Amino acid sequence: MKLSWKPYILSLLVILIIFPFVYLVLLSFASDWQFPNLLPSYFGSRNWQMVVGSENGLLGSLTLSIIISLSVATISTLSGFILSRTVSYHSKKHTLTLLTYFPYILAPVVFGACLSYFFLKIGLFGTATGVVLAQFMIAFPYALIFFSSFWGNRTKSFENLVSTLGGSQWQSFSKVLFPMAGGMLLICFFQTFLISWFEYGLTSIIGVGKVQTLTIKVFLFIKESNFFFGALSCCLLIFPPVLLLYINKKYVFNKLI
């Protein structure tokens, strides 16, 4: 019988993919792991209990990150959907679309540095609102580009049909366009949430260390060489996207395919 290597290679690949995540979880339960000890001197739930006790501000960072990312995702998805319609039907559509790529020409850190003067002037430097606005400036163009494929002759025909049937523009949006774009809206929400969730450069510059999102916290722990809290905050960082991925897979992708 011919020996097949496929299952072994496949298992190796699965282990390689899963290992970093498992290792992160294990590390988040450990502390005092000195070289050359094979195992950590402490393994338990102490680090996780500290999250609840908010001694390191991790619970606060988690809550702040969730609020910021939900705000950025909601505002950019909704405004992106509505404004992409205006852009798509505009006579200068191509120029406007080209402009939406502008924020991606610069690295987020450089972009943040360029904007910092204006944020300082309007009093949004070092505030959560400032971070939401800065992240929105990155997420919103993405939403505009994402929804541009939705608007076309066919969608325009649907809008025209609704208006000749007696519907207002609001009814056209609420009863036809939003339900028709339901899957796309959810995917865009998910993507813009992720853009905001993992955003570091802009947040660190506009937040000036006062707005400590979970991503900022991870880097702080790593800078301090506190791998155990770093791993713990990484676990917290991964949890919401995994949850969103699960929801998307279960309720959105299956319906779209």
Partner 1 sequence: MFLEVKNIKKAFHKEQVISLLNFTLEAHKTLSILGKSGCGKTTMLKIIAGLESPDSGDILLNSLRINEQAPEKRGIVYLYQEDLLFPHLTVFENIAFGLRIKKVDKNIIAEKVNTMIQRLELEGQADKMPHQLSGGQRQRVSFGRAIITNPSLLLLDEPFGSLDAGTRTRMQLLFKKLAEEFSITSLFVTHDLKEAILMGDEIGYMEKGNLKVYKDRDSFINDPMTGVQNEISFWDSLNTKKENEPMNEEVKIKNETE
Residues near partner 1 (CB under 8 A) are: 154, 157-158, 160-168, 171, 175-176, 179-180, 182
Least distance CB 104 / partner 1 (angstroms): 33
Least distance CB 150 / partner 1 (angstroms): 13
User: What string of DSSP letters covers 120-162?
Assistant: HHTT-TTSHHHHHHHHHHHHHHHHHHHHTTT-SHHHHHHHHHH
Decide whether 171 or 226 has the Cβ nearer to partner 1.
171
Backbone angles phi, psi at 89, to 5 degrees: -95, 0
**What whole-number distance in Å separates Cα of residue 76 and Cα of residue 228?**
34
Least distance CB 141 / partner 1 (angstroms): 28
Decide whether 133 or 177 has the Cβ nearer to partner 1.
177
Decide whether 22 or 180 has the Cβ nearer to partner 1.
180
Decide whether 182 or 241 has the Cβ nearer to partner 1.
182
Decide whether 121 or 154 has the Cβ nearer to partner 1.
154
User: What string of DSSP letters covers 86-125?
Assistant: HHHHSTTHHHHHHHHTGGGTS-HHHHHHHHHHHHHHTT-T
Which strand (E) or helix (H) includes residue 171?
helix 169-171
Decide whether 36 or 166 has the Cβ nearer to partner 1.
166
Q: Which of 62, 28, 20 is nearest to 45 (CA)?
A: 28
Least distance CB 179 / partner 1 (angstroms): 4
**What whole-number distance in Å separates Cα of residue 208 and Cα of residue 158?**
47
Least distance CB 99 / partner 1 (angstroms): 24
Length of the chain in residues, anyone? Answer: 257
Least distance CB 168 / partner 1 (angstroms): 6
Backbone angles phi, psi at 30, to 5 degrees: -100, 165
